[in-house]
Amino acid sequence: MPHNHPESAERPRDFIREIVAADVAAGLHGGRVHTRFPPEPNGYLHIGHAKSICLNFGIAREFGGKCNLRFDDTNPATEETEYVDAIQDDIRWLGFEWDELHFASDYFDQLYEWACVLINKGLAYVDSQTLEEIRSQRGTLTEPGRESPHRNRSPGENLDLFQRMKAGEFPDGAHVLRAKIDMASAHLIMRDPVMYRIRHAPHHRTGDKWCIYPMYDFTHGQSDAIEKVTHSICTLEFENHHPLYDWFIENLEIFPSQQYEFARLNLTYTVMSKRKLLELVRENRVTGWDDPRMPTLCGLRRRGYTPEAIRNLCAQVGVTKFNSLTDMVVLENALRNDLNKRAERRMAVLRPLKVVITNYPDGETEQLEAINNPEDESAGKRSVPFSKVLYIERDDFMEDPPKKFFRLGPGREVRLRYAYFITCQEAIKDDSGEIVELHCTYDPATRGGDAPDGRKVKGTLHWVSAEHALDAEVRLYDHLLKVESLGDVGEDEDWKDALNPNSLETLTGCKLEPSLADVQPGTSIQFERLGYFTPDSVDHTADKPVFNRSVTLKDAWAKIQKKQG
RNA sequence: UGCCCGGUGGUGUAACGGUAGCACGAAUGACUCUGGAUCAUUUAGUCUAGGUUCAAAUCCUAGCCGGGCAACCA
């Protein structure tokens, strides 16, 4: 069976795209492809949603089709306009634009009519039992359920009751509209599922118009049908709903949208449940939905992640029905790969150690030329001031260095990047024995960083001139969780005990090279040898710079230490 | 115990009855004014047992393991 899609040969393929391609080839719906992304506006989008967004919008783009954004807003208790706005911002930021914007709540009138259709067909009835009664009759995994005493009410009676439910004659919970399917079905979901419940609650869009609200199952497929969605792609937990999805469409005789399920994205060391993320926000475990430790799109954005990196991750993980757990390093690598090509380099010292160049003239300053991005010549060059007193990273000096430590130690010579070779002559300590300052000498002949005699050094350090340095706060982020997966947490334990207590480390008194004064939020910069950083979009000001670490650079020395340590 | 869906190196995936491939990780080496990047090499896999077939990761059967389902949530 040959594949005749040469135009799509290089695209990432997956089982859903193959189905779509086959449907197009077969001329289904005239070859039209229409998808939708259907978030519930009860929280912010996270990177798991990004996978769904890339899939749905990506397929539409690749097959010349359309993709709608539809808010699945059938539960007035949890949904808010704040989320509606944020979700749209995040989708656009990720790089996608919808063809049509819809709200399931726009279909409430149509849905009500369709409920009446089912009542008239004898396929739906009003049940007046309590929630507990209905629950107790549902049966178990192995035993069939029992039929409600109201199951055989006449269509006329049902219609009357349903209209009065809508008219607001009854309090919450007094009645419910149920589909009349099969209380003995092996599919629990088919045991007369609830279609409508009474909720005297204002809705973020329809206000007080309704006091009955349709359930997800009685909304989603029909919304797809109304919009003539050809491929309704959702995550695995809706697989069980598939027969019901089809049942409503068939019995209503409406457009036959087809549902397909794929596995949601799971990442190590983080949580992807909206409920849990909301818990972190409400309990102030994080500063908000956009806390840079959060896996939300706004959190990742503030952290310094780029849309490209997130889209690349989604392409790399693929689309399957296998319930997988993707290593966080894949995401981190996607960011490094993107930023390595684009981010300009600067020097910044996070934990400063003072260095005095004893043989350098007092009061002199010279400008040294530095390359902005070795991966991109068009990024040009800049000058960096050098003077007698500098800062280097505390980690770059060891009093008693092991063999594999290539940096500074007593009597050792290293290169200061773009500047000079220096040799450590003396480490000055305070009364408590802590090293407070290094005295070094420099070799004037090595200006720029090369020795005319061909002498080599093992290490190159970043540095900042003390006199010219900018003071800054730098926030270092680590995993939200200290365990790979919440699946490792026992059911009797509080999942929040798995939160990493060291997920944020705030450093003050960091020293930046002066050119960093101009960096605007939204820009990613590599601090050489340290990682990629970005000004914090909330707290950064020119007077008081605040940088977030997006991701570290790969660190071979740290790896050696870890292996030996 | 019922129903639905899955199981390919450490991780994520490809192979559509015909050479088990790719990426990430890991390891080694080269190069390097970032212990970054880059380049090269290596590592390691079809859940099990039967069956069909010239040929099975792929089809069939059974088992094992994992996920989901008993909200008036989505």
Q: Is the pLDDT of residue A209 over 80?
A: yes
pLDDT of A488: 81
The answer to whether A201 CB is within 7 Å of strand B is: no
Q: What is the pLDDT of residues A32-57, one digit of tens each?
A: 999 999 999 999 999 999 999 999 99
Catalytic-residue membership of A228: no
Query: What is the interface pTM, i.e. ipTM, of the complex?
Result: 0.96
Q: How far apart are CA A273 and CA A271, in angstroms?
A: 6
A80-134 pLDDT per residue, tens: 999 999 999 999 999 999 999 999 999 999 999 999 999 999 999 999 999 999 9
Q: How would DSSP label each residue in A307-369?
A: HHHHHHHHHHH---SS---B-HHHHHHHHHHHHHHHPEEE-EESSEEEEEETTSPTT-EEEEE
- Strand B contacted by A331 CB (< 7 A): no
Task: Confirm whether any atom of chain B, the nucleic acid strand, is less than 7 Å from CB of A445.
Answer: no
Which of A13, A32, A40, A61 does the annotation list as catalytic? A40
Q: Which position has the token pair 């600067």?
A: A346
| Average pLDDT for A165-192 | 97
Q: Are A288 and A229 in contact (CB under 8 A)?
A: no
pLDDT band, residue A487 (cuts 50/70/90): confident
- Which residue of the set A66, A70, A191, A274 is catalytic? A274
Per-residue pLDDT tens over the stretch A218-253: 999 999 999 999 999 999 999 999 999 999 999 999
Closest-CA residue to A553 (of A516, A527, A515)? A527
3-state secondary structure A31-82: HCCEEEECCCCCCCCEHHHHHHHHHHHHHHHHCCCEEEEEECCCCCCCCCHH
pLDDT in tens, A187-208: 999 999 999 999 999 999 999 9
**Average pLDDT over chain A, rounded to an integer:** 95
| C1'-nearest nucleotide to the CA of A420 | B33
A256-293 per-position pLDDT tens digit: 999 999 999 999 999 999 999 999 999 999 999 999 99
Average pLDDT over residues A370-398: 97
- Token code pair at residue A482: 């200290």
Measured CA to C1', what is the nucleotide nearest A374? B37
Residue nearest to nucleotide B68 (CA to C1'): A237
Q: In this predicted model, what pLDDT tens digit does every residue of A284-318 receive, in sequence order?
A: 999 999 999 999 999 999 999 999 999 999 999 99
Backbone angles phi, psi at A555, to 5 degrees: -130, 100
Closest CA to A335 of A306, A301, A370, A363: A306
Report the pLDDT averaged over residues A478-507. 92
Please check whether strand B approaches the CB of A340 to within 7 Å. Answer: yes
CA of A404 to C1' of B34 (A): 17
Q: Which nucleotide is nearest to A145 (CA to C1')?
A: B70
Predicted pLDDT at A565: 67
- Whether A144 sits with its Cβ under 7 A from any strand B atom: the answer reads no
**Is the CB of residue A415 inside 7 Å of nucleic acid strand B?**
yes
Across all strands, nucleotide nearest A417 (CA–C1'): B33
- CA nearest to A46, candidates A322, A305, A237, A329: A305
Residue that is written with structure tokens 């029992």 in the block = A146
| Nearest nucleotide over every DNA/RNA strand to the A137 CA, judged by C1' | B70
CA of A238 to C1' of B5 (A): 11
The yes-or-no verdict on residue A511 having pLDDT over 60 is yes
Residue A486 burial by CB count (10 A; 0-12/13-18/19+): exposed, middle or buried? middle
Catalytic residue list contains A341? no
pLDDT one-digit tens code per residue, A60-73: 999 999 999 999 99
The Å distance, CA of A133 to C1' of B24, is: 52
On the question of pLDDT at A2 being above 60, the answer is no
Q: Assess whether A274 carries a catalytic annotation.
A: yes
Q: How confident is the model at residue A9 (pLDDT cuts 50, 70, 90)?
A: very low
Q: Which of residues 54-83 of A touch strand B (CB under 7 A)?
A: 72, 74-75, 78
Q: What is the pLDDT of residue A5?
A: 32
CB atoms within 10 A of CB A96: 21
Q: Is the pLDDT of residue A419 over 90?
A: yes
| Nearest nucleotide over every DNA/RNA strand to the A12 CA, judged by C1' | B14
Confidence of residue A11 (pLDDT cuts 50, 70, 90): low
pLDDT above 70 covers a percentage of chain A that reads: 98
Q: Domains (ranges, CATH) in chain A?
A: 6-107+220-336 (3.40.50.620), 112-214 (3.90.800.10), 345-469 (2.40.240.10)
Q: What nucleotides of chain B have any atom within 7 angstroms of a protein Cβ? A: 1-8, 10-17, 23-27, 33-38, 66-74
Report the distance from CA of residue A552 to the C1' of nucleotide B37 in Å, as an integer: 14
